């Protein structure tokens, strides 16, 4: 089997396309194209989202989610400066980490829980 | 895990002391803005493989800034520390990857010369035109420390459900980082040894902290236990690699990708800390003695060239 070219994964620009992030399909539908299902939970006084459950292709990065959240939550300039995304309420993965890698290691029964805060709540 | 603990410790000391000779060369673009009669000579530094470029960014900038006296805050020049970035073969180098990892991954895969030695490693220094879309700006020392600590926490989450690092005093965390910065092996391992112990009545880590890097792909990281209970045997580097590659291909299929990763190990050279460890090495041992100071095994897979 000859060497396979890599698929270009995450686009380098920060422009987000809202259609990339979709709430999960109705519970009866188990087909989600290998997308990662994750829950976004507020911590450290950050506003709570109405939509908590999301799905993204595994190649999307933590940085992509952070940039999306900053726009989606319509943060003011001060708040936009820092948004932290924590896994296990313990560590904040680097922005170029894929959600697939995080999910593979830290999902709980098929769902990955991420906490977002404006302050480094867990260091 | 091992019986000959004295010999194994020697390996950790060897790794700690390993250095890379690096030659920093100013980019042509920035060279043209120098306002002294002579151009800067290349800057040669011996850097620790397990350190990070931002730890010496100030040193590099101070060296080059003497050639721009009077220009430093000139808006048209954009020569300032914030705009400094490093490049190898047109690739902007990520600040948060250990120096040795960047060297192993890029020089083995990319160098146009086929010779074995790519030393000294030639890196281009840019002082302007920061590639905003590809790199985060080189942060300050506090940001790198935060990155190091969070990686350590992730490693401990995998090894011990975070119990050991959670129970450590803040001053122990500080000691790990400071000894890394100040190149103090003993001070580092006095604390790091605690992160290499076992919990929960296990004789090994719950899961191994590792990342696998292939050029032009995001790194792969999976849950992998170092011991197979049913078959009563220690799992090896080969087992870990095969599992990861197979799992990754499964994920690609589920995601309806058109092209798949090559999951044949024979297709790759496996490099950690610049060497090719035997593939039958027990992964528990590698995790204890061959990890980087962030407690992760950073493993490069270099595709064999077509002959």
User: For the segment A21-46, what is each residue's pLDDT rounded down to a tens digit?
Assistant: 433 322 223 346 779 999 999 998 88
Contact criterion met (CB < 8 Å) for A5 and B259: yes
First to last CA, chain B: 41
- Domain housing A34: 2-117
Please list the ranges in chain B whose pLDDT falls under 70.
1-6, 69-78, 111-116, 306-307
Banded model confidence at residue A5, pLDDT cuts 50, 70, 90: very low
Contacts of A94 in chain B (CB under 8 A): 96, 147, 151
Q: Which of B205, B255, B296, B305 should one mutate to test binding to chain A, selecting the residue with the greatest count of A CBs within 10 A?
A: B255
Mark B152-176 as b/e (b = at least 16 C-beta within 10 Å).
Answer: bbbbbbbbbebebbeebeeeebebb
Q: What is the pLDDT of residue A80?
A: 66
Q: What is the pLDDT of residue B73?
A: 55
Contacts of B255 in chain A (CB under 8 A): 33-35, 57-59
Which structure tokens are listed for B225? 């236990």
Q: Kindly provide the ipTM of the predicted complex, given to two decimals.
A: 0.89
Banded model confidence at residue A13, pLDDT cuts 50, 70, 90: very low
Q: What is the pLDDT of residue A113?
A: 97
Which structure tokens are listed for A47? 């506003």
Query: Is A123 within a domain?
Result: no
Domain count along chain A? 1
Work out the average pLDDT over A67-96: 87
Contacts of A3 in chain B (CB under 8 A): 262, 267, 303, 306
Q: What is the pLDDT of residue B74?
A: 55
CATH number at residue A29: 3.10.20.90
Q: What is the pLDDT of residue A21?
A: 40
Q: What is the pLDDT of residue A18?
A: 35
Q: What is the mean pLDDT of chain A?
A: 76
Give, in order, the Cα–Cα distances in Å from B222 to each of A104, B80, B200, B237, B260.
Answer: 6, 40, 21, 13, 18
Q: Are strands A84-87 and A112-117 parallel, antiparallel or unpaired?
A: antiparallel
> pTM of the entire structure?
0.88
Query: Is A92 within a domain?
Result: yes
Q: What is the pLDDT of residue B76?
A: 54
Q: What is the pLDDT of residue B112?
A: 53
Query: Is A14 within a domain?
Result: yes
**CA A122 to chain centroid:** 18
Enumerate domains of chain B plus CATH numbers: 11-138 (3.10.20.620), 140-197 (1.10.246.190), 203-306 (3.10.20.90)
3-state SS class at B31:
helix
Q: Which of B221, B256, B298 should one mutate to test binding to chain A, selecting the residue with the greatest count of A CBs within 10 A?
A: B221
Q: What is the pLDDT of residue B78?
A: 62
Q: What is the pLDDT of residue B71?
A: 54
Length of chain B: 307
Q: What is the pLDDT of residue B37?
A: 77
Closest CA to A6 of B109, B1, B107: B109
């Amino acid at each position: 089997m000859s060497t396979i070219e890599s698929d270009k994964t995450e686009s380098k620009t920060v422009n987000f396309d809202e259609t990339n992030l979709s709430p999960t399909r109705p519970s009866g539908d188990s087909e989600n194209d290998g997308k990662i299902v994750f829950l976004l939970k507020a911590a450290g006084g950050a506003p709570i989202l109405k939509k908590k459950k999301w799905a993204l292709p595994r190649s999307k990065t933590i940085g992509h989610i952070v940039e999306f959240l900053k726009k989606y939550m319509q943060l003011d300039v001060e708040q936009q400066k820092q948004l932290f995304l924590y896994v296990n309420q313990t560590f904040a993965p680097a922005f170029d980490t894929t959600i697939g890698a995080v999910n593979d290691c830290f999902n709980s029964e098929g769902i990955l829980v991420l906490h977002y805060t404006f302050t480094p709540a867990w260091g | 895990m091992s019986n000959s603990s004295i010999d194994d410790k020697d390996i950790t000391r060897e790794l700690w002391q390993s250095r890379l000779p690096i030659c920093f060369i100013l980019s042509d673009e920035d060279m043209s803005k120098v306002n002294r009669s002579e151009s800067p000579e290349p800057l040669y530094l011996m850097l620790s493989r397990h350190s990070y470029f931002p730890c010496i960014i100030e040193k590099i900038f101070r060296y080059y800034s003497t050639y721009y006296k009077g220009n430093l805050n000139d808006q048209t020049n954009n020569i300032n520390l914030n705009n400094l970035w490093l490049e190898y073969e047109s690739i902007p180098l990520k600040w948060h990857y250990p120096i040795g990892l960047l060297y192993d991954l890029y020089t083995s895969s990319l160098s146009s010369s086929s010779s074995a030695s790519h030393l000294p490693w030639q890196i281009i220094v840019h002082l302007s035109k920061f590639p905003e879309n590809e790199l985060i700006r080189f942060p300050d020392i506090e940001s790198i420390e935060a990155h190091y600590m969070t990686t350590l926490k992730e490693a401990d989450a995998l090894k011990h459900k975070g119990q050991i690092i959670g129970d450590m005093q803040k001053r122990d965390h500080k000691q790990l980082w400071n000894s890394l910065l100040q190149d103090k092996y003993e001070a580092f391992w006095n604390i790091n040894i605690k992160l290499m112990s076992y919990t929960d009545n296990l004789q090994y880590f719950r899961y191994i902290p590792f990342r696998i890097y292939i050029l032009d792909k995001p790194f792969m990281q999976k849950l992998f236990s170092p011991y197979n209970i049913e078959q009563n045997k220690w799992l090896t580097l080969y087992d870990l690699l095969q599992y990861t590659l197979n799992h990754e291909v499964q994920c690609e299929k589920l995601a309806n990708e058109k092209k798949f990763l090559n999951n044949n190990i024979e297709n790759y050279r496996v490099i950690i800390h610049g060497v090719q460890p035997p593939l039958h090495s027990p992964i528990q041992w590698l995790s204890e003695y061959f990890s980087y100071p962030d407690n992760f095994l950073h493993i490069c897979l270099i595709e064999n060239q077509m002959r």
